[in-house]
A = this chain, B = another copy of it.
Amino acid sequence: MSDRLKAAKARFVSTWGEMASHWGINKTMARIHALLIASDAALSVDEIMATLSISRGNASMNLRALMDWGLVRRVSVGSERREYFQSEKDVWNMCCRIARERKKREIEPVIGALEECLREAGEGQDSAAFRRRTKELLELVKTLDFVLGKVAAQEKNAVMPRVLTLLKAMS
């Protein structure tokens, strides 16, 4: 691989890691993901460890997390005992997996908690303003939930690209 390409891939990996840490995602997890996206072939744990200078334990834990997110899968290469990893390469599928997980892990619990707030606040006059604002916020979060749901289902029904086309046309 040329030095230029190596440098470009290194920049890619570090950009992805930097971005992820602004969005509440472990930087190393994102760097591994980026490395696998940038790599044509599947990589072994040892290659990942060497390229990113991380320990075996760290690599193992973050690969597990990436598999839990559905972004990376294990593959066997030939008759080798060792396991290799490769990323989902289609960016839309990637996006939809992320949407599905974040919806499930982070949006749905908030909807539940806000509904509990409303229940807890009761019916009294003194809580009217609070209830109104909580309801508005709940609506907003439900909208986000709805949109993420659409993105998550995108593998099947491809509604999102159509909506985006429309949105662009409305500019």
- The segment from A43-51, A55-63, A64-72, A113-121 that touches chain B is A113-121
Whether B2 contacts A114 by the Cβ 8 Å rule is: no
| Secondary structure of the A contact surface, majority rule | helix
Residue of A21, A116, A127 contacting most chain B CB atoms (<10 Å): A127
In-complex Cβ contact of A7 among B1, B40, B120, B163 (8 A): B120
Contact present for A117 and B164 (CB under 8 Å): no
Q: Mark A112-140, 1 if CB is under 8 A from B, else 0.
A: 01101110111010110110011011011
A18 to B9, CA, bound (A): 34
Q: Which residue from chain B places its CB closest to the CB of A38 in the assembled complex?
A: B130
Which of A1, A19, A114, A118 has the most B CB atoms < 10 Å from its CB?
A19
Residues of A in contact with B, size category: 35 or more
Q: How many copies of this chain does one complex carry? A: 2
B11–A106 touching, CB < 8 Å:
no
**Nearest CB of B to A3, in Å:** 10
Nearest B-chain residue to A114, judged by Cβ: B15
Give A143 Cβ to nearest chain B Cβ, in Å. Answer: 6
Q: Is A77 an interface residue (CB 8 A)?
A: no
B126 and A11 within 8 A (CB): no
Chain B residue numbers with a CB within 8 Å of A137 are: 37, 91
Per-residue interface assignment for chain A, residues 1 to 20, with 1 indicating a CB less than 8 Å from any chain B CB and 0 otherwise: 11011011101100100110
Taking A37-B137, A38-B134 as known contacts, 8 extra A-B pairs with beta carbons closer than 8 A to each other, sorted by chain A number, are A2-B126, A8-B117, A15-B114, A19-B106, A22-B106, A23-B23, A89-B133, A147-B164
